[in-house]
Every structure is written in C-alpha cells, then in structure tokens.
Amino acid sequence: MDPHSIINLFHILFVAPLFLWVGSQRSSIPEWVYWLLLTLGLIVTLYHGMKTLQKLKAYNPSVWVNAIHAFLIGPLLLYLGIKKKDSLRGGYELLLLAGFGALGYHLFELAKYNT
C-alpha cells in the first residue's frame, strides 16, 4: 500500500471519527480525551508548521495542505485541549466541520487514487 493511501485511511478510520465524536459529544467527553487533543494539536502544529516552511521555500504548490493543518486544525485542537470543558460551542462545531471535511476529502482521494 502506498503512503498516500495510508494517510487517507488514517484520516478516514481515526481522525474523522475522533473529530466527529468529540464534536458531537462536546464537553461530556472524558478528561483524557482533552489530553489527547492537546497532544495531537502540538504534533500537528509543529510537524505541519515545519512542512509549511519547507514547502514555501521550495515553491511547492501543495503547501496549502500543510498550512491548513498548521494554522487551522492544530490550533483548534490546542484550544480544545487547553480550555477543556470551558471551550466555546464554536470550537466543537469547527471540529465537527473538520471531521466531515476530512472524511469526505479522504474518501474522495482514496477512491480517486485507487481507481
């Protein structure tokens, strides 16, 4: 299996369900999930932040993928992980939106890439 398909499957099987579950359950999720969101937020922001800088220097047109992760998804996860049950409803709504977006995008990419 190629790396592109693995990334798509990871988002379909893990990321989208996590985002949809947290977004729909809101502040009734267990405390440990906030720590998971905080950890994921740190990893996503740092990793994709570095990739964004590398791709900008190389004039890579796919920089938008990393920029979305570094400047939208990562900070949203950090916000929810830090604020925990005090997070605003809009944070959970944005996570739902990101979950549906990730699911649709990666299902589409997986189907397109493997046909």
Instruction: Summarize pLDDT for 32-72 with one digit per residue, the tens.
Output: 999 999 999 999 999 999 999 999 999 999 999 999 999 99
Residue 78 lies in a domain: yes
Residue 19 lies in a domain: no
As to burial, measured by CB atoms within 10 angstroms (0-12 exposed, 13-18 middle, 19+ buried), residue 99 is buried
pTM for this model (two decimals) = 0.94
The DSSP line for 31-45 is HHHHHHHHHHHHHHH
Residue 26 lies in a domain: no
Could you give the number of structural domains in the chain?
1
Residue 5 lies in a domain: no
Residue 71 lies in a domain: yes
Please report, for residues 43, 49, 104, the alpha-carbon distance to residue 111 in angstroms, rounded to integers and kept in the order given: 28, 28, 11
Residue 24 lies in a domain: no
Per-residue pLDDT tens over the stretch 16-30 = 999 999 999 999 999
Give dist(CA 101, CA 79) in Å, integer. Answer: 19
Range of the structural domain that residue 39 is part of: 31-108
Residue 11 lies in a domain: no
Residue 74 lies in a domain: yes
Give dist(CA 24, CA 16) in Å, integer. Answer: 12
